[in-house]
Amino acid sequence: MTTDLPPPHRIVILGGGTAGWLAAAWLCRALQMPDVTLVESGDIGIIGVGEGTFPTIRTTLAALGIGEAEFLVRADATFKQGVLFEGWSTGTDSYFHPFNLPVGGEDEALLPHWIADADPRRPAWADAVTVQEQVIRAGRGPKRPGDPDFSGPMNYAYHFDAPRFAAYMRDISIAAGVNRIEGTVARVERAEDGDIAALVLEDGRRVEGDFFLDCSGFRALLIGRELGAAFTSCASALFNDRALAVQVPYPSPEAPVRPYTLATAHEAGWTWDIGLTERRGVGYVYSSRHASQDEASATLHAYVGAKDGSLDPRLLKFECGYRETQWIGNCVAVGLSAGFFEPLESTGIMLIEAALKKIGDFLVPGDRTARNAAARSFNRLMAGRFERIVHFLKLHYCITRRTDTAYWRDNADAASVPEPLRDMLVQWRYRAPSRFDFLVDLETFLPPSYHYILYGMGFATCLPADVARHPGAAEARSTFARVRAAHAGACAALPDHRALLDHYRRQAPSI
């Protein structure tokens, strides 16, 4: 077959940081592309202040051919088994979103029986269908020292130091042959057909390529400024647009390290609290429409127990949203240039992973018609994924029962809820969520995650009597009993989280 496009041998990535260097590592190590160049400016810092991840990161790291101990040490990583939400529903409540799927991997058969159980002593939904909540509360790690890399009895992801992770990805990328060029882009040179031909740096150097990845962060230098892809704001549903971030040392080197993200609700937003080996990363995400920077700073100080003025938090300004067109011509946006959501549920790096894996499938030799078709498919899938994430994140806010501040009242206002989510919530008052509510190829969060949030927040589903008594009740009761009986054994079989981290650091003494 003849083509009017050369194979995309020369790949140019604009921007370093987490997105750029993870993309470089993926292209050169997982996809074994031979000609990858990354251009980054020493004058432009990275956004990352500490990252939470999604369990998919383990598959990504394994595909890069690195060891888990090496990764943990180089990125100052710790294990994350889910999120503990404090105060989101009533102000005094607490619930877990664990990473484990319900026992057996399918919870549709169990959920109606749990809903129909009127016993006030029944366990929380997450605790009824997985042992992971008990493992997390006991401060246990998700695996044992002898388990293979990137696998264990519990499903897990990581917390890590973003600059250290980016530096680690840079080192393995350069060792694998990625060409790093330091410089600032002065202008973009276009070909006659509209494709990007080269990046022209301030010192006059030209960096030519066949295909370009825009990892330039919020600037979106290529996809936005040069190619004109519009930004779709989600501010009408997701109010938060500011964050104050600090690093908090532990009181002692032996202090426990939480094996989860702690997300605590406040008057105009929420704090994240993640544990690394030597410090905590803490930040207050809030809505500037509902709190001033001074008020937010006071909330952060109070949360960490510091006196006013004793912290020097870093202020981040952002708008939640995304570009519906993320691939134009021979350029695709990856990372913040494609879109950004507040750090709730750690979608940032997962979206980088999703984009890179699709690029690997779609970026193949072919004519221009085939490439443009691939771009349209990519854009539909990524825009759909971003849209569904908006629904999932909004779910955390819109079913709150808090009315103590304008922030929570506004979040519960039906006018701020996207119509597809609003339609599902209306139905879920009278039936349990169904697999038909979810588009599998567009979902980041599977139905069990929706169930963990819905029923962790105390959402009320009123089932018809015939549904509540449908066949399978005895099997469901047996399953719930089996999970309860397994709690103690699971906690006893897994090590203390910090002890597990210390084990891995002893495994990699020379790193």
Active-site residue list: 80
Angle between helices 368-398 and 419-428 (to 10 degrees): 50
Spell out the residues 6+ positions from residue 121 whose beta carbon is closer than 8 angstroms to its own.
Answer: none
* Angle between helix 56-63 and 348-362 (nearest 10): 50
Residue 175 dihedral angles phi and psi, to the nearest 5°: -65, -30
The closest of 234, 195, 444 to 322, measured between CA atoms, is 234
Question: How many helices and strands, by DSSP H and E, does the chain display?
Answer: 16, 22
8 A C-beta contact, residue 377 and residue 354: no
Tokens 């989860």 label which residue? 260
Beta carbons of 50 and 18 less than 8 angstroms apart: no
For residue 313, the SS3 value is: coil
* One-letter amino acid of 95: Y
DSSP assignment letter at 329:
T
Nearest to 498 by CA among 176, 256, 233: 256
Distances (CA, A) of 489 to 45, 98, 101, 140, 492: 46, 18, 18, 12, 5
Report H helices in 176-320. Answer: 293-304
Cα→Cα distances 319→241, 313, 366, Å: 5, 19, 37
**Do the bridges between strand 10-14 and strand 35-40 make them parallel or antiparallel, or are there none, so unpaired?**
parallel
Euclidean distance between CA atoms 420 and 409, whole angstroms: 20
Q: How far apart are CA 472 and CA 483, in angstroms?
A: 17
Contact 486, 128 (CB under 8 A): no
Nearest partner of 495 among 77, 101, 53, 135, judged by Cα: 135
Any residues with CB less than 8 A from the CB of 310 and at least 6 apart, and which?
A: 301
Q: Hey, which residues does 12 pair with through a beta bridge?
A: 37, 212
Tokens 């366990």 belong to which residue? 123
Q: 498 with 257: CB under 8 angstroms?
A: yes
| CB 16, CB 169: distance < 8 Å | no
Cα dist from 129 to 29, 297, 402, 429, 435, whole Å: 38, 39, 27, 21, 18
SS3 286: strand
**Intra-chain end-to-end CA distance of the chain, in Å:** 49
